[in-house]
Chain A
Amino acid sequence: GAVVSQHPSWVICKSGTSVKIECRSLDFQATTMFWYRQFPKQSLMLMATSNEGSKATYEQGVEKDKFLINHASLTLSTLTVTSAHPEDSSFYICSALTRDRVWNTEAFFGQGTRLTVV
């Protein structure tokens, strides 16, 4: 199956600093990538949809100036958490869509990044 690599797996940062998380599709081109956040014992919540070469689409309640998403190539999307605060501590997961026919899509996920803001 398709492989999505997410880096780093975990990161601890000080409050007020910024953290960048990378999501790469290793063996396929992903025109669309998604970023999710998961709080303990909760389901995945979509934060934003990232399309290559265009601005990301953010879900309601997600601050676009705080969670900067860049999708500069067909294999790389980045999420930058700016001015991180302890309440941003969470598990962040990216996914990328493969598409071999128009409607035959399958989502593959990165390993996730555990962010702890102290």
Chain B
Amino acid sequence: KQEVTQIPAALSVPEGENLVLNCSFTDSAIYNLQWFRQDPGKGLTSLLLIQSSQREQTSGRLNASLDKSSGRSTLYIAASQPGDSATYLCATSGNTPLVFGKGTRLSVIA
């Protein structure tokens, strides 16, 4: 059974700092890995999707990497802004529907 772990659970950084969020998974037989953002009381917004054959995806200040063999993915946020404050979740998809980590709660302080 797939298990997805995200570290750290919470992170607070000053504005402008670059940061890395970590996601690890136990079963490397995945189709793809997605990173989502969730604002308090809101639904999920898909940020990046990395297919199993890819190693990274970039969108603006966001860069996500995937290392299937080691069961790890990272989300890199460059030049963080207060508007980036949210919970970030990673999820894997495989033979079963998406399996989510518990998320990293990010606070960017102005």
Contacts and interface: CB of A to CB of B under 8 A. Distances in A.
Q: Do A and B come from one complex?
A: yes
Contacts of A46: 97-98
Contact of B43 (A49, A103, A109): A109
Interface stretch (A66-74, A78-86, A110-118): A110-118
Interface residues of A, number: 22
Contact of A43 (B34, B46, B97, B103): B103
Contact of B42 (A43, A104, A106, A111): A111
B26 interface: no
B44 A93 contact: yes
Contacts of B100: 43-44
B48 to A, nearest CB: 10
Contact of A103 (B31, B36, B89, B103): B31
Contacts of B36: 109
Given A1-B46, A93-B43, A112-B42, A107 B98 contact: yes
A102 to B, nearest CB: 10
5 contacts: A43-B100, A43-B102, A91-B41, A104-B51, A109-B46
Given A91-B41, A106-B46, A107-B46, 12 more contacts: A1-B46, A42-B102, A43-B89, A43-B103, A44-B100, A93-B44, A103-B31, A104-B51, A105-B31, A106-B32, A109-B44, A111-B42
